[in-house]
Amino acid sequence: MTTALQKPATLLEAICSSLLNGARYNPGDTVAPVAVLWTDADGQWQSVVEQLRGIMPELLTLGEYIPQARTGPAIWLKCVIEPSVRKEKFPELQWSDDAVPVIYMPGVSRQSLRAVEECPDGLKPLVELQYRGTVWTQKNGKDWTVLAFLISDDGGLGLDVAEDRHTLQAIRGSLSKLAVKPVKQLEGKRLEAEDFDRLMIGDTTRDLLRWLSDPKGVREELDSGTWSAFRNRCHQDYGFNPDTDGEIVGGERLGIREGAWYGVWQRFEESPALYPGVPELLRRSKPSGRLIFKPDSWPDENEFMEDALRVALIGMGVMKPDEARLQLEQLEKTHGMRRSWVWARLGMSPLANALECLAVLAKSTKMPLGGDSVDAMAKVYAEGGYLADDATLRALACVKSAEDAAALQTAIRCIYLPWLEDTTKQFQQCETVKSLPPAEQREDIKVGAGECILFVDGLRFDIGRRLAAMAGERNMEVSAAWGWASLPTVTATAKPATSPIAGRLRGGHMKEDFCPELKETGAQLSTDRFRGLLSDAGFQMLGSAETGEPLLQDARGWTEYGEFDRLGHNLQAKMAALIDDQLDLLLERVQGLLEAGWKRVRVMTDHGWLL
C-alpha cells in the first residue's frame, strides 16, 4: 500500500504544492491562516500565474479591479478572502471551503510588508494579513525567485542551473513553457541558456494536449503564425490536422494510441492534471461499434468498473467472512490493475485503491489473533497482527463520497468485526488465566539527560508503527517498544501511568473521572499537580510550540500533542483521511525539538482511540 504524495511532475505542480504546504497548520495549536501572501518584487512569476490559476481557483492577484479575473486592489482582496463576503457579493468566485486563499502580489517585496510605516497606502490593508496568515518564502525568509525555486534542494526542484546573465534572461523568457515541462526531463544535466531557449521553439506534444483539453481557448490564445506552425507540426508528426479533423478525431486517436499517438498518451499520463478537459473529450470520442482493446484509455470504462466494484462490496453484507475473503481475492484480480491507470492518479478510482488495503485486511484476519497468554497475544499483534487495524484505516482513507464509504464499511464489517470479536474473546480467556500486571509492578520510566518526552494522546499502535516508518524515511534513527496501558484506558488514568512520576501515584480509589491519587497525601491528581510533579522531578514543561532549553545540564523535557485523541473521538471513521497529515505535523514537531538541541525525543502514548 502506498500513501505517500507523488513528486510534482512539473514546475507548475511544484509551485502549487509549495503554496499548499505554506498554508498547512496544526488545528490543535492554531487557527487556519486566512491567506498565503506571495510577494514578488520583480514580477518574475507573472507569466505563470494564469496557468497556475487553472489548478488553484483560490489564487487571487493584487492589481486592477477585474473580479472575473480574480484580480483587484488590496481592500477588495481583504474583503473577498472572507467566506461570507465572497459567497454573498462575489458568487462567481468559487473554491473549496477548506482551501486557503493565495494572494499574488507582483511588484511587492516581503520587506515592504514588514516596513508598515513606509508601506504605500494602497498596500496597507494587506499588511496585517502576514500576521493572520502566512507568507510564501524560502526558509531564510527571502522571496522565492524563479532561479531560487529551480535550484533549491530545500523546498524547490533541486535542478542544476547556470546562473549567468544569459541563462537568467532565458529562464524568464521561457517561464510559461518551462512551467509545464516535465521535471524529469530537466534533471541530471547542467541547464544553460540554450536549454531554456529551446523551450520556446515549440513542444508539439504538449501543445497538442493543451489543444485537445481546450480547443477553443488554445486557438484564441495563438496568433495566426503560431497556429500555422502548430498545425503543420501536428500534420507532420501525428498525421492529424486540427482544423479539418477536429478534437473528436484527435480524442479518438489519443485513446487508441497507435503509432506516434502512443507518445502523446504517455505525456498525458505523466501530468494528467495539466489537461483537465481531456477526460471529457475521451468520453465523447470513444469509438462505438468496435472492440475496446485498451479499456484504460477511456474514463467511462473505469467508471463502469468502479460501479461494479461498489455493488460487489455492498453485496458482502450478506456473506460469511470466508466467502467475503474469497470474493475480495477475485475482485483484486479484476480491479487491482486499475490502480496503475491514469484515472487513479486523477482520483477517479477510490474503491480500486481501497481494494488493495482490503486484500491486506482479508489476509490478516483469516485467523483470530493467536497466543495462549496475554503476553503471547501482544507479541503476535506487535509482530504483524496490527496490520488488520492499519489496513482498515488505510482503506477508509481512500474514499470520500458517502456511497463509496458505505460500500467499503459493509465489506470491512463483514471480515473485520468477527475477527475483532474472536480476538477479544481469546484475550479475555487468557486474561482470566493470568491477569495483566498491576501498575505497581512496572518499572518507572527512565529519562536520560538531553531527552525530551513527547506525549501523544491516543496514538494507536498501528499508527505508531506508521509514524516509525515515516521517521525512518526522513533518515531519523528510530527504535520502538510497547507496554501495557493502565486500566481503565482513559487519559486521566493512563497518561500519568506512562509518565516518569508514575511511582508517586496510586489507583484503587478513583472517582468517576478515573484520576489517580498521590501516594503521599491521597490528593486527587489534577492537571496542575501532574505538571507540578514533573517540574519537581526536573522536567521542563514545554508548550506545544516551545523547544525549551535542551543545552542546560541534565536537561529533560515534557511536551504533549493531543490531536489524535481529539480528532479520533470527534470524527470517528473520517479521521482516517487525516492520519498522514497529522503524522507529518507530529514529525515536524519531533524534528524541531531535535534541531533545537535535544539529543533524543521519546514519543510516548497511553491508549488508542477507538472507531
Name the pLDDT band for 274 (thresholds 50, 70, 90). very high
Higher pLDDT: 289 or 320? It is 320
Name the pLDDT band for 25 (thresholds 50, 70, 90). low
Could you report the per-residue pLDDT of 536-581, keeping only the tens digit for each?
A: 989 999 998 899 999 999 999 999 987 887 887 777 878 888 888 8
Query: Helical H runs in 37-123?
Result: 46-53, 74-80, 83-89, 110-114
Could you report the per-residue pLDDT of 408-457, keeping only the tens digit for each?
A: 999 999 999 999 999 999 999 998 888 877 766 667 678 889 999 999 98
Burial zone of 257 (CB within 10 Å; 0-12 exposed, 13-18 middle, 19+ buried): middle
Q: What is the pLDDT of residue 3?
A: 35
Supply 286's cell numbers.
Answer: 470513444
Q: What is the pLDDT of residue 2?
A: 32
Supply 472's cell numbers.
Answer: 525512518
Query: Helical H runs in 315-373?
Result: 321-335, 342-345, 350-364
Give which of 396, 411, 421 is closest to 321, Cα–Cα: 411
CA 472 vs. chain centroid, Å, equals 18
Higher pLDDT: 372 or 492? It is 372
Higher pLDDT: 275 or 229? It is 275
d(CA 79, CA 125): 10
Supply 348's cell numbers.
Answer: 477517479
Higher pLDDT: 536 or 194? It is 536
Mean pLDDT of 461-468: 92
Could you report the per-residue pLDDT of 73-122, keeping only the tens digit for each?
A: 999 999 989 888 888 888 888 888 778 999 999 998 888 777 667 778 88
pLDDT exceeds cutoff 70 at 251: yes
Q: What is the pLDDT of residue 1?
A: 33
Could you report the per-residue pLDDT of 216-228, keeping only the tens digit for each?
A: 999 998 877 678 8
Residues comprising the chain, all counted: 611
pLDDT exceeds cutoff 80 at 230: yes
d(CA 202, CA 227): 11
Q: What is the pLDDT of residue 439?
A: 65
Name, in order, each residue with C-beta under 8 angstroms of 250's C-beta and a sequence gap of 6 or more. Answer: 208, 211, 212, 240, 242, 281, 285
Q: What integer best gives the mean pLDDT of the chain?
A: 88
Could you report the per-residue pLDDT of 354-369, keeping only the tens digit for each?
A: 999 999 999 999 988 8
d(CA 356, CA 335): 9
d(CA 591, CA 543): 16
CA dihedral 299, 300, 305, 311 (to 10 degrees): 130
Asked whether the beta carbons of 545 and 593 are under 8 A apart, the reply is no
d(CA 296, CA 269): 11
Poorest-pLDDT segment among 140-144, 187-191, 503-507: 503-507
Q: What is the pLDDT of residue 586?
A: 92
Strands (E), 293-450: none
> At which residue does the C-alpha cell 486566512 appear?
34
Q: How many CB atoms lie within 10 A of CB 26?
A: 16
> At which residue does the C-alpha cell 488465566 appear?
433
User: Considering just the CA atoms, what is the radius of gyration of the chain in Å?
Assistant: 29
Three-class SS state of 244 = coil
Q: What is the pLDDT of residue 159?
A: 94
Higher pLDDT: 525 or 550? It is 550
Asked whether the beta carbons of 102 and 19 are under 8 A apart, the reply is yes
Three-class SS state of 53 = helix
Q: What is the pLDDT of residue 130?
A: 84
Mean pLDDT of 62-69: 91
Share of the chain above pLDDT 70, in %: 94
